[in-house]
Structure 1
Amino acid sequence: MDFDDILEKVGSFGKYQKLILYLVLFPATLPCGFFAFNQLLMSGMPRNYWCRLPVENLTQEEIFRLLPNSTDPDSRTPNDKCQMYNVNYTDPTLLLQLPGILSNATTIPCTNGWEYDRTDWESTIVTEWDLVCDKELYVTYAYTINGAGGLLAMFLLGYVADHYGRKISYFLTFGMMMLASIATPFSPNYAWFCVFRFIVGGGIGWSFTIPMMIAMELIGPAPRALMSVIVSVYYTLSILLIGGVSYFLPSWKPFALVSSLPLIIFIGFYWVMPESPRWLLSQRRYDEVAQFFRKIARVNKRPLEPGFDKRLPEILRRIDEDARAADERGDRRYTTWDLFRTPNMCKKTLILIFANTTNLGVYIGLTLYGPSINENPHWNYFLSGLAEMPGYLFTTIMADRLGRRFTLVVCMVFSGAVGIAAAGVPVTSTGILMGLVFACKFSISIAFVLSELLEDELFPTVVRGEGHSVTAFTSNFFTLGVPFMVFLGYQYMVLPLILFGAICLIAAFFCLFLPETVNMDLPQTLEDGELMGKNMRWAEVFSFKIPSKRRNMAALEAEETNPLQIPKTGLNVRTSMVLDVDLAEGKVMVHGRRLDSDDIPDVIADIKV
């Protein structure tokens, strides 16, 4: 009997899990959406801007007559945004001398600042600190600095999650983001704004990952895909909600406060959020895990037999000791290096890094890119977020019935094809481009959910936090360049979509080498993690066969007292460790892979029953 067997016994997805997931863990991801995208809406670019002239009481038409015309053929505005004529604008007869006096006049950069079209925004950091023309890239720098914050905190928070608990890691993350986000609107200048956003960026990824990690460690295999979808719906709702707040508060400082300060209520979750029982088990806190299982059994109305209840701490101790013996690690601490120490675990980690980087990068890129396509940024932002919702309706069905791998690969191929197709769209066809963005956002959202789910299902419990740290660090590092890719759209509008499409197609190929995880128990030890998908043959790489489901509890309990003897091997094993045993042939299937006779001793974690 292992951890998942006990979880099945007390209810792997009963009333207790549903209450905790729907009322605590999933709502705990809402701050992630707020903190991740309020900067995008604080940094809105006005539809038009022009040099401020040292004269007053001029109409808009008269101002544009006194400014150079735009030389950009793709410009949506008639005026040059960064140049003014080198003439005496205080001359009261200047308008009477038009256009002759300007025909031979030279142009110079704006010397008196800028005026802004306030149609969409009353104020943003762009209008606050004149981040236009030669400072146009400053907004992109701020996005990159925000992402860089995640690099500093990623391994620290992953270490805290694995060594001090998932719960402590979450609230450390939340407190850090909350304080810096509240301080943001009080930034005296652009430099301080970047400092505060750097700190906020340090916790964005973990404010989503930690609740998701605890959720996956509380439930059995069957509902994992559905739970990944539901938590993504919560996340997307937070994105849509913050877009609505921005529409009604178009001034960036009040918006920054309103999008941060109310979230302080989540501090109250500290007293209701559970610690991961799998993490407690890895820390040898057997009595706490036993009490936790008793609570689940009581709430789920699945009372434990008195004898089993009494022996529960001892059973948990044996499960943990067997797992440690299988890993041959004893009391040594687990580190990030354990993800790369064995060949199969290393391969899976590298692929997950690439997949997560691609999905995160394309997702962020499309979110930044969408509002710039046409003139209504609020509407574009809302539609871009809404495009994610339909995909979530299909994710559970596809992931459970077609498998994680198949769904992930198909979605990434579709995103890639849509992005490449943008090469044939004229830059003036903004409606078609928006359609391509929505289609790509639809499919990449599904791929993003599945890549996060695969991380939870492929990384062993003892290094799951470290695994998330590695993928989050590397994906955040490489996606620091995404804002600059989006900026290329100002030179050639469809170029970002083409780049996103090409990257998706490459990543889709490598994802074929990941094992299928549907219906599989979460790996607890490094040995468990190494065995999943080990020695995949080429036929398996291009096969999308779904592993069989777990057997019922009666069979699992029987194995505790009746170990199976496998002919032709001389080994006694619990069949809960394997998925298929052919007694006639002495064949053992582990995680969907047939073992040769030489392999069998390597995968039997507990021969002496």
Structure 2
Amino acid sequence: MNFDQILSAIGGFGKYQKMLYIWICLPQILLAFHMMVSIFTGATPPHQCRESPSSAVGNQSFVPGTVNMNFSLLDSSCFSTKALLQGNRTERVPCGHGWVYSKETFQSTTVTEWDLVCSRAGLNSLGSSIYMFGLLVGSVLFGAMADRYGRRFVLLLSIALQTVFGVAVAFAPNFPVYVILRFVVGATISGVIINAFVLGTEWTCTKKRMLAGIITDYAFGLGYMLLAGVAYLIRDWRKLQLAISAPGFLLIFYIWVVPQSARWLLANDRREEAIALLRKAALVNGRVLPPTVQVEKCDILGGGRKSHSVMDLVRTPQMRKRAIILFYIWFVNVLVYYGLSLGVSRLGTDLYLTQFVFGLVEIPARTLVLLVLPCSRRFSQSGFLAFGGLACLLMLAIPADHPNILAALAMAGKFGITASFAVIYVYTAEIFPTVLRQTGIGVSCMFARMGGVLAPAINMLHNHSPATPLVIFGTSPLLGAILALALPETADRPLPDTVEDAENWEIRPLPTKEDPEMCEDTSHAASSTEKQELRHLASQT
């Protein structure tokens, strides 16, 4: 019996797996908080030069009537307008006494506390880039660690580090320390994302496998929307950072409830531990573990432990082709997702309402994926990429004096890319074999973060050529849609466990109706007849 057959025999999507999904989804809400909180904590409110040291108390203060806060003046934010006595000329003098900030929307942000405006405004963008670099480093570091030390250990480590350093950010004494702490938080976010997703995938049977990605995406979208409400109630950046980080301490009980991946244990020749976990899962699901697995401890993964590295992703021809295509699709998804998000950020004047709507649009995109993904992974991936790319290219044909149509097309493009993003998580986990799954997803996330870093730079090209960003955001997904058609179809197929399984994908037999690889209803306990059938099947294999 291979692992998928054993997993279905003990209940491929029973109570045990459903409880696991609950534990996987809770951290996703906190991840959304950390990913999007800089929209509020790093916001730049309206500001103007303080004309004298006594104009206001503290750099972040604004006393009504003390300074004329005319935010419509172009130079008032970075230069003090000083009238000369001779003639009607004026000269621009850099702010010498700091700035006065409006407190209409925010009580304080990192910008107002450390004066990250005017000549120092680039530091704010640099902090965001370093945070994204942390996501990149974390995807590679924690991905490789999980393949070596196990999904559970690295998941728990990432949650713990994220909580500790997230709270520490709220007490950062200066901007350099703030940036360093945020870098660490970004790295741990990647560790939580990829390990929670893979752990859910490896415990789920073939038929319900896609839920490991889509359900967690719903939880992320929920956190996306909840952040708008939390930020609306807490307008001080330090208190907001503390409010989104401290709940992580409540997850300490994960030490006792989150299981290791039995598939990973078997792939690393730790059979006794794997069988103990499978027996526990069978008990919770009201099933029985086949006797052959309990007594003979058969070679489920077809070989003993073997060391693997990142190079194994491109060492063999089929793996190399698929890995390169997947890396490109990950890159394009994040590039266009963040590129369009930055481009449509001016849809609403209320920042909190805009944040909520951006989270809300994720829900229908994920729902559509749930409906079409069981039919085909390959065509779903290709179709959503093509839809997003075509929407961007259509924007080139719309005049600038039709902003509503442009906004609608931009949202359509974001819808397609969001759906494509949901597919690629599931697709990648199903294509890479167990022995390289975590490493493969980690490297894929590294390419994705490269897209996130480049997206703002590409948007800056709009100042020189408004059409250039749209051409890039339109053509790159279309190329990805074509390349996706060269990937194998993984719907209703067993997960490959070894590199040899992945290389021989096309000649591996499809599961038949008689094979116990499809999910069964595990809401009731196994009857004596079912137990006899399972024992008979085990004895034959």
TM-score above 0.5, yes or no = yes
Residue of 114, 118, 122 corresponding to 1:137:
122
Amino acid corresponding to residue 31 of structure 1 in structure 2: L
The alignment status of 1:446 with 2:431, answered yes or no, reads no
Where in structure 2 are the equivalents of 1:188-267 lying within 5 Å? 188-267=173-252
- Quote the Cα distance in structure 1 between the aligned partners of 2:176 and 2:401: 36
Equivalent in the alignment of 1:335: 309
Query: 1:443 is aligned with what amino acid?
Result: G
The CA deviation at 1:426 is 5.3
Higher relative contact order (CA 8 A, sep 6+): 2
Q: Which amino acid is the alignment partner of residue 383 of structure 2?
A: V
Segment of structure 1 superposing worse, 274-283 or 506-515: 506-515
Looking at structure 1, the residues matched to 104 and 403 of structure 2 have their Cα atoms a distance apart, in angstroms, of 20
Q: Which of 545, 551, 569 is the aligned partner of 2:513?
A: 551
Identify the range of structure 1 (204-213 vs 341-350) with the bigger mean alpha-carbon deviation: 204-213
Which of 484, 490, 496 is 1:511 aligned to? 484
Aligned match of 1:581: none
Highest CA radius of gyration, 1 or 2? 1
- Rounded to whole Å, the distance in 1 between the matches of 2:213 and 2:72 is 54
Q: Does 1:181 align with 2:143?
A: no
- Provide the aligned C-alpha RMSD in A: 2.9
Name 1:312's counterpart in structure 2. 293
How far apart, CA to CA, are the structure 2 residues paired with 1:492 and 1:268? 53
Which of 419, 423, 426 does residue 392 from structure 2 map onto? 419
Counterpart of 1:3? 3
Q: Matched residue of 1:371: which SS?
A: coil
> What code does the residue aligned with 1:312 have?
V
Q: Is the 8 A contact 1:170 1:210 kept in 2?
A: yes
Distance apart, 1:80 and its partner CA: 4.9
CA distance in 2, matches of 1:467, 1:160: 12
Once residues 81 and 421 of structure 1 are traced to their aligned partners in structure 2, the CA distance between those partners, rounded to angstroms, is: 37
Partner Cα distance (2:119, 2:426) in 1? 43
How much has 1:554 moved relative to structure 2? 7.1
Counterpart check, 1:293 vs 2:278: yes
Q: Distance in 1 between matches of 2:498 and 2:200?
A: 19
Aligned residues of 1:85 and 1:102 also touching (Cα < 8 A): no
Q: Secondary structure at the match of 1:514?
A: coil
Distance in 1, matches of 2:12 and 2:113, equals: 53
Q: Which residue of 2 aligns with 1:599?
A: none
Q: Confirm whether residue 362 of structure 1 aligns to residue 358 of structure 2.
A: no
Cα offset, 1:143, TM superposition: 1.3
Letter in 1 for 2:144: Y
- Residue 487 (structure 1) shift: 4.8
1:279–1:359 Cα change, 3 Å: same
Structure 1 position 83, deviation (Å): 2.7
Cα-to-partner distance string for 1:514-541 (whole Å, 9 max, x where unaligned): 1111001111111111223589xxxxxx
Q: What is the deviation of 1:165?
A: 0.9
SS at structure 2 position matched to 1:348? helix
Quick one: which amino acid aligns to residue 514 of structure 2?
N
Q: Which residue among 43, 50, 55 is the counterpart of 1:52?
A: 50
In structure 1, list runs of 5 or more residues that go unmatched: 71-78, 89-96, 325-329, 536-546, 563-608
Distance in 2 (CA, whole Å) between partners of 1:428 and 1:59 is: 39
For residues 461 and 384 of structure 1, what CA distance do their matches in structure 2 show? 35
Deviation at 1:464, TM superposition (A): 0.8
SS in 2 for 1:151: helix
1:275 matches 2:260? yes
Paired residues of 2:159 and 2:248 also in contact (CA < 8 A): no
Q: Which residue of 1 aligns with 2:528?
A: none
Aligned residue pairs: how many?
A: 517
Q: Does structure 1 conserve the Cα–Cα contact (< 8 Å) formed by 2:201 and 2:210?
A: no
How far 1:154 moved relative to its partner?
A: 3.1
Please name the residue that 2:430 is paired with.
Answer: 457
Paired with 2:378 and 2:429, the residues of 1 have a C-alpha distance of 14
Offset at residue 319 of structure 1 (A): 2.0
Which of 504, 509, 525 is the matching residue for 2:498?
Answer: 525
Equivalent residue, structure 1, for 2:525: none
Check 1:37–1:490 CA distance in 2 against 1; reply closer, same or farther (3 A cut).
Answer: farther
Q: Aligned equivalents of 1:157 and 1:378: distance in 2?
A: 33
Q: 3-state SS of the aligned residue for 1:50? A: strand
Specify the alignment match of 2:95 in structure 1: 110
Structure 1 position 199, deviation (Å):
0.7
Correspondence list, 1:71-82, <5 A: 80-82=76-78
TM-score (norm 2): 0.87
- What residue in structure 1 maps to residue 523 of structure 2? none
Q: Structure 2: state its 5+ residue gaps.
A: 56-62, 518-532
1:39 equivalent to 2:33? Answer no
TM-score w.r.t. the length of structure 1 is: 0.78
Task: State the Cα deviation string for residues 229-278 of structure 1 (Å, max 9, x = none).
Answer: 21110111111111211111122111111011122111211210010010
Q: Is the 8 A contact 1:68 1:85 kept in 2?
A: no
Task: Using the aligned pairs only, state the percent identity.
Answer: 28
Q: Alignment partner of 2:232: what SS?
A: helix
- Residues 193-225 of structure 1, C-alpha deviation per residue, up to 9 Å, x if partnerless? 111111111111221111111111111111122
Q: Deviations over 1:32-70 (max 9, x none)?
A: 212222223211232x33222227588599554xx9953
Partner of 1:19: 19
Whether 2:140 is the aligned partner of 1:155: answer yes
Q: Which amino acid aligns with 2:28?
A: T
Q: Summarize deviations over 1:538-589 as a string: whole Å, max 9, x none.
A: xxxxxxxxx9654324799888777xxxxxxxxxxxxxxxxxxxxxxxxxxx
CA distance in 1, matches of 2:403, 2:117: 23
Aligned-residue offset at 1:432: 4.0
> Contact conserved, 1:143 with 1:483, CA < 8 A, in 2?
no
